Amino acid sequence: MNVLVTGATGFVGQAMCRKLLAQGSNVTGTIRPALHDMSALPPGVVPCSVDSLGPGTDWRKALFGIDVIVHLAARVHIMKETAEDSLMEFRQVNTHATERLARMAAQTGVKRLVFLSTVKVNGEDSGIRPFNETDPAHPRDAYAVSKWEAEKVLKRVADETKLEIVILRSPLVYGPGVKGNFLRLLQAVNSGVPLPLASVNNLKSLIFVENLIDAIIVCMTHPQAAGKTYLLKDNEEVSTRQLVALLAHAMQRPARLWPFPPSVLRLGMRLIGKSAEAERLLGSLQVDDSKIRKELGWKPRYSVTQGLAETVAWYAKTKDEH
């Protein structure tokens, strides 16, 4: 199979490419020449330069001879946003470039496109029951809005062409190479700094990167996946408190947790402009993955404990680089 992986030099993209190569696929990976990220491309992947992503992106070179696309490239959360119109910037990459890719793929005879979306399309807090695929969309930030708009545009392309679309809404992805908030949590637990999270009893769905990749590979070829949207997760949910304790155990360090009222912590974070961070840390976000299990027979191969152990092992080897 000839597979195009966009965002091939990213955290998920690199692992995706390595797995596809190991399975015997021919893999083309997009790179951004302006970012000089050629060295991050796994050996064996055919590089294809793609300029800035937007409604005018020329994907033709990358699409030559391709059977299936795994579309991972995206503008993700930025801790210190500098764009005057962040929604416009997210739309350029996540919505308009995705539509352009899908329409050009349809014109060149690509069979299927698997799109990595986000559970944040459903919302930020699942409340008393897990999100499922039939729940109304409730994106609350520019990133989630742009992903929701991309989902809708992809469905229109599928209706108008022969291109098959599969949408995967993923919760927080972790594993070797992880960045962002999860990496910062690893650093905090490793440093031994006391964390005021002992009273946090939320529940979070997560997904280990290898479990996510397994799901993507199933969705690349399974006949019943065409036209579907799926939520997915690891087998177990964890609270933020439990996550810290599991990471500390894997690091063979004490979990330095102390009790503090979550309501007071949430208020304090809001007062310093960290409302979104407070919700991610303290709120519950669970998903129901029964649809993909029933329809495609997919289930996670790795437990949360196994996934966190691999993540910590990677961090221990590379922590001086971060």
Q: Is 230 among the catalytic positions?
A: no
Tokens describing residue 110: 């690509």
- Rg for the chain, CA atoms, rounded: 20
Out of 143, 174, 230, 302, pick the active-site residue: 143
Give the domains, in start order, of the chain with CATH numbers.
2-176+206-235+286-301 (3.40.50.720)
Q: Do β-strands 112-118 and 68-71 pair in parallel, antiparallel, or remain unpaired?
A: parallel
Closest C-alpha among 211, 231, 233 to residue 301: 211
Identify the residue whose tokens are 């408190």: 241
Full pLDDT tens readout for the chain, 322 residues: 999 999 999 999 999 999 999 999 999 999 887 665 677 899 999 999 998 899 999 999 999 999 999 999 999 866 455 667 889 999 999 999 999 999 999 999 999 999 999 999 999 999 889 999 999 999 999 999 999 999 999 999 999 999 999 999 999 999 999 999 899 999 999 999 999 999 999 999 999 999 999 999 999 999 999 999 999 999 999 999 999 999 999 999 999 999 999 999 989 998 988 888 888 889 999 999 999 999 999 999 999 999 999 999 999 999 888 7
- Report the half-sphere exposure of 51 (CA within 13 A, side-chain side): 6
